[in-house]
Amino acid sequence: MEKQPHIAVVDDHEEIRELVGRYLGQHGFAVSAAADAGEFRELLTKERFDLVILDIMMPGEDGLSLCRHLRATTSIPMIFLTAMAEDTDRIVGLEIGADDYLPKPFNPRELLARIRAVLRRAGGSMVSGEAEEGAKQLRFGDQVLDLVRQEVTGEDGVAVPLSSAEFRLLSVFLEHAGKVINRETLIDLTSGRDPGAWDRSIDNQVSRLRRKIEVDPKNPVLIKTHWGDGYCFTGKVVPG
């Protein structure tokens, strides 16, 4: 029997926590709720989560700050809930590592669809069944990408975990090695959404990925910038 995906709902509005928790519970998810960032941080020491639904505007530590912490310490996928109308606030969330966002008020069915889409993209066992150990790896230069563990191991043998967004981005680069991919295509392939006119979130994601796989991120040799066109992965990719 497949494990229930465990979802955390972090929102200071009790009615939203109850609505989302009840609806997701009816559709096969285990749900834990937190009223603020501090309460969620405490939950995180006791529980393992497959995805976090996170409100941006909360008293005390806001959702953006919590997102930065989660992205620096975990690879848990995140979906933002936001009542903010400005596109820039949503883009900031995507830039710092959120996987998707949904503006309030929202339809629970749409939230459910987005959760399932993010979990599929993250390659979680909760969608496709338990992943088998010893699955495929891809090697580029002296580094190996483990497609199950979502981590990169260098020649020193140290494994560096990737966030779900970083993993999808690197997977796209490896699949299209040697080809220049524009920003719009990268956003579509990694997040499944249409980019806005001023959406530069992919540039921030590339910067974060460079810090994990480049010897000198300021002078990258694997992920090259093609000004006005996009990016190109120059490394040779072979099965690990």
Residue 232 is part of which domain span?
Answer: 137-239
Mean pLDDT is lowest, of 92-101, 164-173, 179-188, 214-223, for 92-101
Q: Is residue 161 part of a domain?
A: yes
Q: Which helix (H) or strand (E) holds 60?
A: none
Three-class secondary structure of residue 43 per DSSP: helix
DSSP 150-192: TEEE-TT--EEE--HHHHHHHHHHHHTTTSEE-HHHHHHHHH-
Q: Is residue 1 part of a domain?
A: no
Task: Give the tens place of pLDDT for each residue, 39-96.
Answer: 999 999 999 999 999 998 889 998 889 988 888 788 889 999 887 655 666 677 777 7
Residue 211 tokens read as 């810090």
Say how many domains are in the chain: 2
Kindly list the strands in the beta sheet with 51-55, ordered across the sheet, starting from the edge strand earlier in the chain.
Answer: 30-34, 6-10, 51-55, 78-82, 100-103
143 and 176 inside one domain: yes
| pTM (global) more than 0.75 | no
Q: Is residue 180 part of a domain?
A: yes
Is the Cβ–Cβ distance between 21 and 144 less than 8 Å? no
Q: What is the CATH number of the domain that holds 124?
A: 3.40.50.2300
Q: What are phi and psi of 189, to 5 degrees?
A: -75, -30
The closest alpha carbon to 81, from 140, 15, 25, belongs to: 15
Q: What is the CATH number of the domain that holds 184?
A: 1.10.10.10
